[in-house]
Amino acid sequence: MTIITRFPPSPTGFMHIGTARTALFNWLYAKRHGGKMLFRIEDTDRARHSEEAVVALINSMTWLELDWDGEIVSQFEQRERHADVARELLAQGKAYECYCTPEELEAMREKARAEGLPTFYDRRWREPTQTPPAGIKPVIRIKAPLEGESTIHDRVQGDVTVANAQLDDFILLRSDGTPTYMLSVVVDDHDMGVTHVIRGDDHLNNAFRQKIIIDAMGWSVPVYAHLPLILGPDGTKMSKRHGAASVEEYRDMGYLPEALRNYLLRLGWSHGDDEIISDAQAMEWFDLEHIGKSPARFDFDKLASVNAHYMAQAEDKRLLSLITPFLREHHKVELCDISEARLLAGMAELKTRAKTLAQLADEGAFYAKAVPLDFDEKAAALLDKDTLAALLEILETLENFTAGALETACKAVAASLHGGKLGKVAMPLRAALTGRSVSPSIFHAAEILGKDESCKRLSVVISG
Ligand code: GLU
């Protein structure tokens, strides 16, 4: 049997981080078993539908490097097929027409509320004694089982059982002929051959209703795995309040897609104590048995450390192209051949220091900035002109402008002006060359900038 999973988001405008984890789990499960993951857009809410929201989902999946099989399916486009299934159930006597008016339904709701009943529809059209009223278009309702219990064998939650009295004769087809969400999901999953439904546990209750339709049609019940929610660090549902809830925001903060995948994988699934898990390992190991039963809390520090790991491993050229938009937007810097070459020369050191691409761009921007630099407050306070002038005099005479030679020059100035304290020379040099008080090794950075550029930066500070 080919394993077929599905990713069926509703287009809300962005991809929630929990939705991304659901996509990842479905993707890994399919990969692990040589199966397929299908992508369906649940776009039946036409009042709120927007194409941009669909594009946002596709962009997030593409950025996360989660690929799917086949064409993207639009649920809305299958609506006639969904309606046909409702009519088929009606013809088989497994569903019925209900002619209740909104007022009647409201009265039933009131009564059920007063009596504390779990459902409200009193099934008055299930075995009708009255003739259908003229001029009212009926809805089609499912005949839910009246007695006994239903059990979902969930691969994460275990067996979950409810009394059938909790389940009502819910609507399959509205009076305007449009299918309900509950029906559409079941028909699409069946038609797409879905074998495994891996989704958020906010859908566990729906599974009981969906199973009624599946049983009525005589279709096979998929394997269910309902995942606990992702919580923010404070234990409430992860939302914008916690910093970032959408995939796009993580991209814009400078996380790498492979780091987010690794982090989201660990957030709710475990393989012993392993924290760093490559895609290849994840595809070999991922299973439903090791998904945690309780909600996981998002931990930004851990995400940053996972990201730092992947940044340090990433290829220098790739990082250069990934920081280019950060340099442009945060530092107003456009790269040229010279600045690119400098950044590449400094990348080995830069990439082991930064936790995000944004930080990497912050730390590397000095390689690409034009003089005069802008100095941050701490750097401005370090610009000791006398020291820098003494240093410049030596630097201008250097034939081999290497990190070693620069260090020797700084030591000489420190010996003559600062009682041998190297920091008293190196710190002003760092401030003058980078505009900042922290940077990668300043002797190495100066070597990369080269003699002309370094001396120019020093002269501008001295004469400024
Ligand atoms: N469209 C639903 C959602 O975005 C998913 C439904 C399902 O997985 O069955 O929450």
pLDDT tens-digit readout, 248-275:
999 999 999 999 999 999 999 999 999 9
For the Cβ of 205 lying below 6 angstroms from any atom of ligand 1, the answer is no
Which residues constitute the domain of residue 426?
A: 377-462
pTM of the model: 0.94
Last residue of a domain, one of 166, 200, 227: 227
User: Which atom from ligand 1 is nearest to the alpha carbon of 185?
Assistant: 9
144 C-alpha vs ligand 1 centroid, how far in Å? 22
8 lines ligand 1 (CB under 6 A): yes
Of 210, 227, 244, the one marking the end of a domain is 227
Q: What is the Å distance from ligand 1's center to 304 Cα?
A: 29
Single out the catalytic residue among 240, 317, 378, 421.
Answer: 240
DSSP 293: S
Judge if the beta carbon of residue 9 lies within 6 A of ligand 1: yes
Domain end call among 227, 243, 269: 227
Q: Ligand 1 test: best mutation among 5, 6, 7, 10, most atoms within 8 Å of CB?
A: 10
- CA-based angle 46:66:242, to the nearest 5? 70
State both tokens at 106.
């409201």
Q: Report d(CA 215, CA 217) in Å as an integer.
A: 5
Cβ–ligand 1 contact at 36 (below 6 Å): no
Measure the CA–CA gap between 313 and 59, rounded to whole angstroms: 25
Q: Tell me, yes or no, whether 184 lies in a domain.
A: yes
Distance CA 84, CA 190 (A): 14
Task: Flag whether 141 is in a domain.
Answer: yes
Tell me whether residue 92 is in a domain: yes
Confidence of residue 443 (pLDDT cuts 50, 70, 90): very high
Alpha-carbon dihedral 445, 449, 455, 457, rounded to 10 degrees: -80
User: What integer is the mean pLDDT of 293-313?
Assistant: 96
Question: Is the shortest distance between the CB of 10 and ligand 1 below 6 Å?
Answer: yes
Answer yes or no: is pLDDT of 243 > 90: no
Q: How far is the CA of 190 from the centre of ligand 1 (A)?
A: 15
Q: Confirm whether 210 is domain-assigned.
A: yes
240 in catalytic set: yes
Q: Which of 356, 332, 365 is nearest to 433 (CA)?
A: 365
For 172-191, write each residue's pLDDT tens digit.
999 999 999 999 999 999 99
Cα separation, 140 vs 183, in Å, equals 11
Instruction: Determine, yes or no, domain membership for 355.
Output: no
CA of 162 to the centre of ligand 1 (A): 21
Residue 421 lies in a domain: yes
| Ligand 1, atom 2: closest residue by C-alpha | 9
Count of the separate structural domains present in the chain: 2
CATH number of the structural domain spanning residue 194: 3.40.50.620
| CA-to-CA separations, 147 to 163, 168, 298, in angstroms, rounded | 8, 11, 42
Give residue 102 CA to ligand 1 midpoint distance, Å: 28
Digit-coded pLDDT (tens) for 383-423: 999 999 999 999 999 999 999 999 999 999 999 999 999 99
Q: What is the predicted pLDDT for the residue at 445?
A: 98
| Residue 42 near ligand 1, beta carbon < 6 Å | yes
Check whether 119 has a pLDDT greater than 90: no
- For 316-355, the pLDDT digits (tens) are 999 999 999 999 999 999 999 999 999 999 999 999 999 9
Confidence bin at 464 (pLDDT 50/70/90): confident
In a domain, 285, yes or no: no
CATH number of the domain enclosing 431:
1.10.10.350
